[in-house]
Amino acid sequence: MELKWLEDFATLARTGSFSRSAEERHVTQSAFSRRIQALEAWLGVALIDRSTYPTTLTPEGREFRETAEEAVRMIHGSRASLQAKNRPSTRTVTVAALHTLALAFFPRWFRQVEAFTGPLDSRLLPDNFHACLQAIVEGGYDFLLTFYHPGVPLPLDPEIFPYRVVGYDSLVAVRSALRTEDPATLPVLSYSKSSFLGRIAILAQAQAGGPSPTTSHINENAMAEALKFMVLEGHGIAWLPRSLVTRELEAGELIASGAETVLEVRLYRNGGHRRPAVAGVWEASGVIAETMRERNNLG
């Protein structure tokens, strides 16, 4: 049994809707439904009456709802208490970052930060957008490093979570050099539509009049790295962050097709975290961002 199953069930009991619950939990409806079914299988009883609309709970579901909600509250409360006792040292900063940024951006950027702050300890969480967002909102991490596109707003209060633009990337449609057909005829390798990069990829494809909408592969875990290797093996075309495929493009292993969609790289700060190391990273990131803007203006 997994905690996320209980969280899913509590959300479904509150909303009465599989689609709305899946959206709140940032997963596809099919994945959400499978997790509810897994919880029912573990308990050995049906929790949801699927013969009615809107969705209702079975008697067993109504009985279990209070248990599930209390278990979620207790586990999160215990987690918060333990974290409070094990706060990072004054020279440690914690960063939740999208997988691609953790690989292609964070190491170089953090070296630039340390040039201003001196040596720092760091704890990095490379994960999907939902997990990273949850990490900073719940207070476990100081910073969130994420892509941003105006077509996909981020649900963060700027008064509590201010941000700085610390870099730029772009989403580009790429195919293997092994595939010599017209790019418009290639199958699309896609992210889950509910994922963060998936939503940006849909916008990029529409704006560029991009490749054929025929989808041959959907990557449910939203990792651009997995799609990259599918493209390299010649399975089709995919929208990927340019920073992730720079080497392959330069080596001629991948070929870019069509216009690119510009992405900001944003650093969000938990405004309630005011340790000297956190403040130092924030100030250094501002200096680095200003230097980057001046360089771009001169260019």
Kindly state whether residues 258 and 138 are assigned to the same domain: no
Amino acid 167: pLDDT: 93
Same domain as 242, residue 194: yes
Residues of the chain under the 50 pLDDT cut: 210-212
pLDDT confidence of residue 88:
55
Residue 276 shares a structural domain with residue 209: no
Shared domain for 173 and 96, answered yes or no, is no
Q: What is the rounded average pLDDT for all residues in the chain?
A: 86
Residue after which a domain boundary falls, among 39, 63, 85:
85
pLDDT at 159: 92
Residue 280's pLDDT is 95
14 and 74 housed in the same domain: yes
Report helix angle 196-208 to 129-137, nearest 10. Answer: 130
pTM equals 0.68
Say yes or no: 176 and 260 in one domain.
yes
pLDDT at 228: 92
Residues 232 and 177 in one domain: yes
* Residue where one domain finishes, among candidates 85, 110, 136: 85
CATH code: domain of residue 157: 3.40.190.10
Q: Tens digit of pLDDT for each residue in 250-270? A: 999 999 988 889 999 999 999
Domain count of the fold of the chain = 3
**Domain interval for residue 75:** 3-85
Q: What is the pLDDT of residues 159-202, one digit of tens each?
A: 999 999 999 999 999 999 988 888 888 888 888 766 788 888 88
Per the listing, tokens 């308990």 go with 43
Do 9 and 54 fall within a single domain?
Answer: yes
